[in-house]
Amino acid sequence: MSGLTAIDVLVNPDDNTLQRARAWNARMRESVPDGFALDASHQPHITTLQRYVRTGELEAVYDAIGDTLAATDTSALSYRAVAIKHADFGVPGQGLAVILIEPSPQVYDFQAALLAAVAPFAESGGTAAAFVTDPGEDISQSTRDWVDGYVPHQIGPEKYTAHVTVGFATFDDLKAIESEPFDAFDVHPAAVAVYQLGNSGAARKLLKTWPIPN
């Protein structure tokens, strides 16, 4: 469907998490050198909700998210990084690696509130036009399907997989990486933001942000 924007309502993590994510991204790019780098247009983040929303109603979407955030005790939103894991994202011979995050129960409540707030503006069937693309780039079917299926497949306990994406690596390299000890650490939210998505769930274009007080 045309006239839609693929959005990611996400948490921007603290500087320590950003540094660790970029270090892992550098390691993934040793495995797949042409994989994406975490940079200004591929921001490390923790997705809370992805949706296709009507482009003409983006300002109303921002207002609904802002109202939800104002009603949320952000001090209770806590996360802990516990492992490196990967998913098969449709690239032959490669997996998409993430820092796996364990969220607090309040994160699930926040996700449910965001889902209700955004629901009046959401549609299904977004095309590649809903995403940020580089010249000549197409959006993979797996990316488009992921946004369409985010609800209900990534909503609530037992379904939502909180994570920070760190890049592509070969399955052989990922097997070795995932067998190594992982130094678990706390992740502190620095802001909530809305981004327009790109390929592989990358946060490509900042649309709106709300800082979280320390």
Residues, the chain = 214
Would you state the pLDDT for residue 213? 83
User: Where does the pLDDT of residue 202 fall: very low under 50, low under 70, confident under 90, or very high at 90 and above?
Assistant: confident
Average pLDDT over residues 100-106: 97
The half-sphere exposure of 87 on its side-chain side, counting CA atoms within 13 A, is 15
The answer to whether residue 1 scores a pLDDT higher than 90 is no
Domain map of the chain by residue range?
A: 4-211
User: Where does the pLDDT of residue 131 fall: very low under 50, low under 70, confident under 90, or very high at 90 and above?
Assistant: very high
CB atoms within 10 A of CB 87: 14
Using alpha carbons only, give the angle 63, 65, 66 rounded to the nearest 5 degrees.
65
DSSP 56: G
CB atoms within 10 A of CB 202: 22
Q: Which residues contact 43 (CB under 8 A, 6 or more apart)?
A: 12, 195, 202, 203, 206
What is 4-211's CATH topology?
A: Cyclic Phosphodiesterase; Chain: A, (3.90.1140)
